Every structure is written in C-alpha cells, then in structure tokens.
A = this chain, B = another copy of it.
Amino acid sequence: MRSDMLTSILSDLNGSSTDIEASGIVSTDGLMMAAELPAGMDEDRVGAMSAAMLSLGDRTAQELGRGTLEQVLIKGENGYVVMTHAGTDAVVTVIAKPKAKLGLIFLDIKRAAEDIAKLV
C-alpha cells in the first residue's frame, strides 16, 4: 500500500538521526498524507501550519525574486521545523531538536523528498 510506503520513508527518516523528533507528509492544501509524530503532537496542527508556511513562503520567494519555493526553515530556541517540497503536490515537514546538525538533516530530507515525490 502506498500509505505504508510513505510511513516507511518517514520511519527511516526519523531513524536516520536522533535529532529528528517527528516528520509528516502534507498535501499542499494542508491535509496529512502520512505522519510519524510523537504522542501529544497533533497531526492536524502540523498539517495546517505546514500548509500555511508553504503558501506564504511561496509568495515571499516570488515577490523577492527567489523563484520557485523549495524549502522553508524555522528556527526557534527549542528547535527547528523544516518544510521541503516533495514534488509539486506534497511537502515533507521535519521537526528537529535545537542542536541538530542541519547539514546532515538537509541531506536526509532531500533523499526522503525524492522518494516521496515518486509515490504521491
């Protein structure tokens, strides 16, 4: 099943680094397609915030001459949220710890996004 394959990609992604706390695949209209979230993290909330950030990020990239949006990163004092386009119809959202090694995480996300793009 396709949803099992998507969940499996997220499990591998979360397992690739102890810095990754959670991940999800969200359609560009904000609906969750697959998720590997810890207890207490709400799917709908992750989906809604991901879609809203991607929509505004897309507009910002266009308005400021940066072309088609590829990724939005949010850094807070308690960690990161990284939203990355996986093809045109889906976004992979990763929630990571404050001291995460961004270079490694970006690489793992890029690979996961390529795999996801083939499935959605």
A residues with a Cβ closer than 8 A to B are: 41, 45-46, 49, 52-53, 56-57, 59-61, 63-81, 95
**26 A/B residue pairs, CB under 8 Å, sorted by A:** A41-B64, A45-B63, A46-B64, A49-B59, A52-B56, A52-B60, A53-B56, A53-B57, A56-B56, A60-B74, A60-B81, A64-B95, A65-B79, A66-B75, A66-B78, A66-B79, A66-B80, A68-B76, A69-B74, A69-B75, A70-B76, A71-B73, A72-B72, A72-B73, A72-B75, A73-B73
Q: Is the interface of A mostly helix, strand, loop or mixed?
A: mixed
Contacts of A81 in B (CB 8 A): 60-61, 64, 66
User: So how many copies of this chain end up in the complex?
Assistant: 2
Q: How far is the CB of A32 from chain B (nearest CB, A)?
A: 14
Taken together as a complex, chains A and B put the C-alpha atoms of A46 and B77 apart, in Å, by: 25
A-B pairs with lowest CB-CB distance, top 4 = A66-B76, A67-B78, A61-B76, A71-B75
Contacts of A76 in B (CB 8 A): 61, 66-70
Taken together as a complex, chains A and B put the C-alpha atoms of A77 and B58 apart, in Å, by: 11
Contacts of A65 in B (CB 8 A): 41, 78-79, 95
